[in-house]
Amino acid sequence: MEVLYGLHPVEEALRAGKRRFDHVLVARERRDERLERLIAQCRESGVRVRQEPREQLTQVAQTTAHQGVVALVRPQEFLAIEDLFAADPAQTGAARLVLALDGVEDPQNLGALLRVADGAGVDGVILTERRSAPLSAAAVKASAGAAEHLRIARVVNLVRALEDLKQRNLWVVGLDERAETEYDRFDLTGNVVLVLGSEGAGLHDLVRRTCDHLLRIPMAGGVSSLNVSAAGAVVLYEAARQRRARLHSIPTSVQDSAPRGGALRSGRKGLGS
């Protein structure tokens, strides 16, 4: 069994319906409307609820940040790359947007990126088995439960996975502070997988060479780059903005200046082609 803690993660896990719950612990000392709603939600879903002293919840969760709610659940099942492209009732032929993380090791950053990915409408997330933060209770809490709603695949070899995505007609776009092209001058409305590197080191060399294009976020201050979760938020929401503009046929400078499908004006497919 795995542990989930915090109101949002447990609520969202119940809503998503992907996890099998054993039981939920709630702190005897906490009494409020939000907790009562969660208890009612558990009962409607047929999940057992037990009241325990707050100290017991702290011991189970191994943190005091549980907000008086701890759930014991079956581990989340990860998908294979092929599963990300299985028929999805929510899909109506729209272009795919996939997020791939090249060794993000901090659970807070991982959780923040998953929250952004869910908000920006990402179709799937790819994590690596090594050099990556696990999808732990801390990461799920940092995602405010968004991790429970995402389609997440875990792969052994990211480069191989990116090559597979290329075969499925996705453009592989990496974020790199040394790139020449600025992120908001690139057409992100096509089938795109955005690759973000690890904290500090960025993209690994082989992953960088596998990317079709590299983009950067221009920085006006004294530091050269943003935190990976902040950088991911900037680019993913730019992709979401461009896609909304395309959907509603709103003219934008990006649509006027950048060709469709992710290619640059040179017509070259780009790095790694």
Q: What is the CATH number of the domain that holds 224?
A: 3.40.1280.10
- Give the per-residue pLDDT at 84: 84
How confident is the chain (273 residues) per 10-residue block, as mean pLDDT? 93 91 94 92 95 96 95 91 70 83 94 96 94 91 92 95 94 94 95 93 94 94 85 96 83 45 38 32
In a domain, 223, yes or no: yes
Does 118 lie in the same domain as 184? yes
In a domain, 13, yes or no: yes
- Give the per-residue pLDDT at 88: 55
Range of the domain at 213: 81-262
In a domain, 271, yes or no: no
Does 126 lie in the same domain as 173? yes
Can you tell me which residue has the tokens 């996975």?
161
Does 94 lie in the same domain as 54? no
Q: Count the domains in the chain.
A: 2
Does 219 lie in the same domain as 86? yes
Does 94 lie in the same domain as 65? no
- Give the per-residue pLDDT at 18: 87
Q: Work out whether strand 21-27 and strand 69-73 pair parallel, antiparallel, or are unpaired.
A: antiparallel
Last residue of a domain, one of 50, 73, 96: 73
In a domain, 54, yes or no: yes
- Give the per-residue pLDDT at 87: 55
Q: Can you tell me the distance from the alpha carbon of 55 to that of 25, in angstroms, rounded to the nearest whole number?
A: 11
Does 231 lie in the same domain as 171? yes
Q: Cβ(142)–Cβ(108) under 8 Å?
A: yes
In a domain, 269, yes or no: no
Q: Can you tell me the distance from the alpha carbon of 97 to that of 120, in angstroms, rounded to the nearest whole number?
A: 9
Last residue of a domain, one of 28, 56, 73: 73
In a domain, 48, yes or no: yes
Last residue of a domain, one of 55, 73, 91: 73
Does 123 lie in the same domain as 49? no
Does 107 lie in the same domain as 54? no
Q: What is the CATH number of the domain that holds 51?
A: 3.30.1330.30
Which segments of the chain does DSSP mark as H helices, in order? 7-16, 33-44, 54-61, 107-119, 137-142, 158-167, 205-210, 228-247, 253-257
Q: Can you tell me the distance from the alpha carbon of 163 to that of 146, in angstroms, rounded to the nearest whole number?
A: 27
